[in-house]
Structure 1
């Protein structure tokens, strides 16, 4: 069976069991981008607390964030963990917007995908997963987001090797799947949900996982 068919079969099996994911939470593209930075090395429950702090203080626009001192920003995003480092990264992101004459991130939507991704990756503190999350979820660019959950599931199914790097894993999907924003969005969300529900780091529940049947083939 070819890779495209395998990936589509996995997608269909997850979608049938889990249904629509309505991913990623956020009331605006800018909020989604900030969330992508804050979620680094933590879980979404902690990010929500930080986002709510920013919202309560009118801090979910570039202009709103700029009014905070670095110490004030650190305190507002403290629940997300690594708050000193993340405050610097948020300010680096704001500098990136200013350098590209963007009042908000949506002003960059018309930029060619490859060029924009390169510019985001040049921002200190924004790595491939964060950049691609911003591209896909905030700007509707057809970029497939992969993560540790993706590597875990597809390595356990012996479809990719354990030490596969980010870009090679991303190409595993993008080389054969249509560049469809809606599908990329949904597929990544399904992978995350499957990993948390069944394909856990220890004691995976393959018997109940909708992908377990593929291990038997």
Structure 2
């Protein structure tokens, strides 16, 4: 069924929560983000750009083995050494530069204490001012490292909600973020769980080539019957 949305989607809060409940029943609590410290969350959010999480885990383990999972130790590495440590995450030369720029920003801002005291809107703008950090990465950091009520929009979210005919799929990032936040209200725990469940559902079932048999969202999906069966 074709849909036409020319403005910010208006989600029914109960419908969004029902989708989350179905996913939670199917996959269980996800407990995201998989990291030991907020700083590790930040590094992981940068490294996960354009790569699978398993590759990020290997890169982070390399940093841990080198004792280099802190801003000062990362900056103490030469660019070549840092790039080699994070090689599993792909685009390692570019990401090494992004990590260095983030760590310089982190130190100049007073570290965790300096950033944690900022209002969410201010902190978000400062993160977005760092070269290589876009809205999705900034919001990953805000939601999971700083526990701020900012809903993360990623490709999986767009794919799933387009197939549910709740969005077009090509709306601007901010349009979708604000639509989810308006419908769900400021709830950090819900945002974290919802985002993680959408990622899990996209990986297990709702991929580019969907495996629709037994999907818990089949009753709401708009994919052709030939695909669903």
TM (normalized to structure 1)? Answer: 0.94
After superposition, where does 1:1-217 map in structure 2 within 5 Å?
3-102=12-111, 105-202=112-209, 204-215=210-221
2:183 partner SS: coil
In 2, the alpha carbon distance for the partners of 1:2 and 1:129 equals 21
The count of residues paired between Structure 1 and Structure 2 equals: 213
Shift of 1:205: 2.5
Alignment partner of 1:135: what SS? helix
CA deviations 1:190-215 (Å, max 9, x no partner) are 0001111111112x123311111223
SS in 1 for 2:184: coil
CA distance in 2, matches of 1:26, 1:94: 18
Post-superposition CA distance 1:64-92 (Å, at most 9, x none): 21210111101100110000000010011
Instruction: State the shift of 1:172 in Å.
Output: 2.0
Q: Which has the higher contact order (CA 8 A, sep 6+)?
A: 2
How many angstroms apart in 1 are the aligned matches of 2:206 and 2:114? 39
Task: Kindly indicate whether the alpha-carbon contact (under 8 Å) linking 1:51 and 1:77 is maintained by their aligned counterparts in 2.
Answer: yes
In the alignment, structure 2 segments of 5+ residues that lack a partner are 1-9, 223-229
Deviates more, 1:142-151 or 1:93-102: 93-102
| Moved >4 Å (runs of 4+) | none
Displacement of 1:106: 4.9
**CA shift in 2, pair 1:106/1:18, >3 Å:** farther
Measured in 1, the distance between the counterparts of 2:221 and 2:198 equals: 16
Give the Cα separation in 2 of the matches to 1:211 and 1:109.
Answer: 38
Shift of 1:117: 0.1
Shift of 1:47: 0.6
C-alpha separation between the residues in 2 aligned to 1:66 and 1:169? 36
RMSD: 1.4
Q: Distance in 2 between matches of 1:211 and 1:113?
A: 33
TM-score normalized by the length of structure 2: 0.89
Q: CA deviation at 1:3?
A: 1.4
